[in-house]
Amino acid sequence: MLILLATLLRLAVLSEAKLRTCKARNLPAIDVFGLEVLDVSARAQHGYPEASRDVPVDAEPIDFCNVTITYTHPGQNDTINAYIWLPFDHWNGKLLGQGGGAWASGDEASLAASVALGYAGTTSDSGHSIFGDVQDVAVNAEKWALLSPGNMNWALVQDFAARALDDLPKIAKQIVKGFYGEAPSYSYWNGCSTGGRQGLMSAQRFPGNYDGILAVAPAISWASLAAVAFWPQVVMQREKYWPPACELEAIRQAAVKSCDEIDGVKDGIIAAPGLCLFNANTIVGSTFDCEGAKRNITAAAARIANAIWGGPVRTMNGQREWYGITHGTSFGGSGPYGVFDGLATTTCADGNDNCHGNPFPVSATWIQYFIEKDPDYDVTQMSEDDFFRALHRSRNEYGSIMDTSDPDLSEFKALGGKIVHWHGLADQLISPNGSSSYYSRVLALDPEARDFYRYFEAPGVKHCAGGIGAFPGNALEALVNWVENGAVPERLEAASIPAGEGEKIRERVLCPWPLVAAFKGGDVDAAGSYECEEVFGQARGLHTEL
């Protein structure tokens, strides 16, 4: 009877929301310490085309009240927009904050997905636009990073790093309560890359803002990552050789062939990159196909590949400063992700000859605008010494501002919060070793951290999504079930996303780290053929997928 009454009450609330005019004057005054509201706008949107990058749902038109709160932090000379989308029908009583990617702190498509799933969705622009061409809003920061050459816009840097992230749920919860007549029963965060960093930032610095956080491929140590992403370009500059994409791809495929079966399954995926010892020097001189032309692997390309896998290492003393990408991961090229397809991307002027570096623009922007603070600084001429000096400065100046590497999550744990964190092992932009290293430090500080925080690795999955591996599309659902019903996610169900019609779907289970999905026999593409164990169990022999 109580459940029936609660359901009827919720339907009444939703009916009232639908009948209510979506007008700014109907919304409550925002009261958040330290900010001043400049403008409130609200408009009804009907038949909006749902789309999503991070939350897979059926694409159907949605109806919602689109609210924008424009505000400032007095004295900071900033202007920030908080976006809250409120479904007229089928509100599930919850709030879902959505993260962004690269320099964009929010994402419109993910807001639409929130509404389609029944949530009140919210995101922030943290003081610079999240709408427009990706080259303008996601991969470059030249429009807002500097007040003038040599002078950082520290207010906007801090807004992007954390300040606006703390404002957002405080604003959104007040709007939700004013619109529906009740506060959200639960609040969640979902984000990948920058969005994953934002999720961990929330858990570390603002532990009371969300009940559950889904952090995917998070840019945990931003001050290191943003500079380290330029390492492949430094290596090529050092070698004075910029391989065509086909040569690096041939080396990648050779690594896959060598290490594919470590996990006991031959499927074109290196599921145990930490056990892959492939050295590109072993294939120097071998022939490969480059768009119909026969070429040979060069010694320079092999050295470049090994240096990228190894991560930034100082030549003078052999000191490793960060992780490299995993074996089997895309080096770059002309893949579907464009500038996001890898960190060793090159552009060739004459077919596959006369190539030059094409730096990952997020990293290039970081070095130009945030480290050198000079828009005219030529990153393509960076020497190895220049690079390590820049990395050192980056950590000194921005580690305490941007990084989310604090392993102390005791406050978040005490408040009952839960975290699901996963990372693709074929991530071409952010090494998954950064995630496993951070999680290890969390466990070292709190051996019982698995009670509220689970980390998973997804073999063959690229940055946020993509690749031939199995994508855990139910991760948000698993998080919600953990928070609301106490169902601990002992595994995540995952399935590959078909690249074309008729392509077979590969099912897998993702296991809580450090457990791995060991093949137990049967259909190699069925999730039921795998169990979570400490090792892959190579002694059972290898299974070859036909």
Please state the domain extents for the chain: 1-181, 185-219+408-501, 231-358
Residue the block writes with tokens 């890898």: 342
Torsion sign across C-alpha atoms 323, 328, 331, 332: negative
Residue the block writes with tokens 């004013």: 178
* Cβ neighbour number for residue 60 with a 10 Å cutoff: 10
Q: What is the pLDDT of residue 542?
A: 44
**CA 26/CA 295 separation, integer angstroms:** 68
Tokens at residue 6, please?
Answer: 């609660």
Q: What is the pLDDT of residue 333?
A: 66
Tally the C-alpha atoms within 13 A of residue 411's C-alpha that lie toward its C-beta: 12
Q: What is the pLDDT of residue 5?
A: 42
Q: What is the dihedral of CA 437, 322, 226, 76, to 10 degrees?
A: 60
Catalytic residue among 187, 193, 330, 529: 193
**CA 168/CA 201 separation, integer angstroms:** 13
* Residues of the chain by 3-state class (helix, strand, coil), percent to 5: 35, 20, 40
Q: What is the pLDDT of residue 93?
A: 97
Q: Smallest Cα–Cα separation from 224: which of 323, 326, 369, 372?
A: 323
Counting beta carbons within 10 angstroms of the beta carbon of residue 310, is it exposed (0 to 12), middle (13 to 18) or buried (19 or more)? middle
Catalytic residue among 427, 431, 435, 436: 427
193 is catalytic: yes
Q: What is the pLDDT of residue 338?
A: 59
427 is catalytic: yes
Which amino acid would we find at residue 275? L
**CA 515/CA 517 separation, integer angstroms:** 7
Counting beta carbons within 10 angstroms of the beta carbon of residue 84, is it exposed (0 to 12), middle (13 to 18) or buried (19 or more)? buried
Kindly give the confidence (pLDDT) of every residue in the chain, 546 residues in length, as a single tens digit, with 9 standing for 90 and above: 434 444 444 444 454 544 457 999 999 999 999 999 999 999 999 988 765 444 445 567 899 999 999 999 999 999 999 999 999 999 999 999 999 999 999 988 889 999 999 999 999 999 999 887 766 778 889 999 999 999 999 999 999 999 999 999 999 999 999 999 999 999 999 999 999 999 999 999 999 999 999 999 999 999 999 999 999 999 999 999 999 999 999 999 999 999 999 999 999 999 999 999 999 999 999 999 998 899 999 999 999 999 999 999 998 888 999 999 999 999 986 554 556 789 999 999 888 889 999 999 999 999 999 999 999 999 999 999 999 999 999 999 999 999 999 999 999 999 999 999 999 999 999 999 999 999 999 999 999 999 999 999 999 999 999 999 999 999 999 999 999 999 999 999 999 988 777 778 899 999 999 999 999 999 999 999 999 999 886 533 444 443
Q: What is the CATH number of domain 185-219+408-501?
A: 3.40.50.1820
185 is catalytic: no
Catalytic residue among 107, 114, 463, 529: 463
Q: Smallest Cα–Cα separation from 361: which of 188, 175, 200, 141?
A: 141
**CA 97/CA 227 separation, integer angstroms:** 28
